[in-house]
Amino acid sequence: MKKNLPLASEGTGLCESTTMISGWSHKSFTFETPVMTGKWEYALANPQIALEELSKEELIAIIYQQKEQQKNVVTTPHLAEAMCRGRLDSGIFHVNQKFASLFGCQSVEEVLAWGHQTMKMHASSFRRLRRLIRQQGSLQNYEILLRRKDNSQFWCSISTAMLTDEHGCPYYEAVLHDISNYKEAARKLKENFEELKKVNGELDRFVYSASHDLRAPLVSILGLVQVARLEADEEQRQHYFSLINNSVDKLDRFCREIVYYSRNARLGIRREKVNLRRLIQEVLSEFQFTDEFGQVQVDVSVSQKSTFYTDSQRVSVILRNLISNALRYNNAHRWNSFVTIKADVQGRELHLEISDNGIGISEQHLPHIFSMFYRACERSKGSGLGLYIVKETLDKLRGTIQVDSRLGKGSTFAVCIPEASKTQKV
Tell me the CATH number at 218.
1.10.287.130
pLDDT band with cut points at 50, 70 and 90 for residue 190:
very high
pTM (predicted TM-score): 0.51
Indicate the burial class of 310 (C-beta count within 10 angstroms; 0-12, 13-18, 19 or more): buried
What are the φ/ψ torsions at residue 231 (nearest 5 degrees)? -85, 125
With a pLDDT cut of 90, the percent of the chain lying above it is 26
277/424 same-domain check: yes
Q: Domain with 349 in it: what CATH number?
A: 3.30.565.10
Beta-carbon count within 10 A of 105 CB = 20
* The pLDDT of residue 30: 41
Beta-carbon count within 10 A of 316 CB = 18
Q: Which has the minimum average pLDDT: 12-16, 305-309, 361-365, 411-415?
A: 12-16
**Over the range 35-58, which residues count as b (16 or more CB within 10 Å of their CB) and which as e?**
eeeeeeebeeeeeeeeeeeeebee
What are the φ/ψ torsions at residue 171 (nearest 5 degrees)? -150, 160
Q: Of 72, 90, 112, which closes a domain?
A: 72
Flag whether 86 is in a domain: yes
Flag whether 341 is in a domain: yes
Q: Of 21, 49, 72, which closes a domain?
A: 72
pLDDT digits 0-9 by tens, 61-74: 555 554 554 444 44
345/413 same-domain check: yes
289/399 same-domain check: yes
Q: Which amino acid is at 411?
A: S
Average pLDDT, the chain: 77
The C-alpha atoms of residue 217 and residue 36 are separated, in whole angstroms, by 96
Q: Of 72, 103, 128, which closes a domain?
A: 72
Q: Domain with 139 in it: what CATH number?
A: 3.30.450.20
159/208 same-domain check: no
* The pLDDT of residue 148: 86
What is the spatial order of strands in the sheet that 338-346 belongs to? Answer: 297-303, 338-346, 349-356, 410-418, 400-406
Flag whether 77 is in a domain: no
Secondary structure (3-state) at 129 = helix
14/111 same-domain check: no
**Over the range 356-366, which residues count as b (16 or more CB within 10 Å of their CB) and which as e?**
bbbbbbeeeee
162/104 same-domain check: yes
169/194 same-domain check: no
DSSP secondary structure of 299-342 = EEEEE--S--EE-HHHHHHHHHHHHHHHHHT--TT-SS-EEEEE
The C-alpha atoms of residue 374 and residue 126 are separated, in whole angstroms, by 48
Flag whether 29 is in a domain: yes
57/105 same-domain check: no
195/61 same-domain check: no
**Domain with 171 in it:** 82-178
Beta-carbon count within 10 A of 164 CB = 9
What mean pLDDT do residues 401-425 have?
88
Instruction: Tell me the pairing of strands 297-303 and 338-346.
Output: parallel
Q: Diameter of the chain by CA atoms?
A: 136
Distances (CA, A) of 76 to 58, 84, 115, 164, 227: 30, 10, 19, 19, 92
Beta-carbon count within 10 A of 327 CB = 22
Looking at mean pLDDT, say which of 74-88, 125-139, 188-202, 353-367 comes out highest: 353-367
The C-alpha atoms of residue 5 and residue 17 are separated, in whole angstroms, by 10
Flag whether 330 is in a domain: yes
316/248 same-domain check: no
Domain count within the chain? 4
278/372 same-domain check: yes
Beta-carbon count within 10 A of 30 CB = 16
Q: Which residues contact 4 (CB under 8 A, 6 or more apart)?
A: 13, 14, 15, 16
pLDDT digits 0-9 by tens, 27-66: 444 433 333 333 333 333 333 344 445 555 655 555 555 4
Q: Which has the minimum average pLDDT: 73-82, 94-103, 192-201, 406-415?
A: 73-82
349/419 same-domain check: yes
The C-alpha atoms of residue 377 and residue 64 are separated, in whole angstroms, by 84
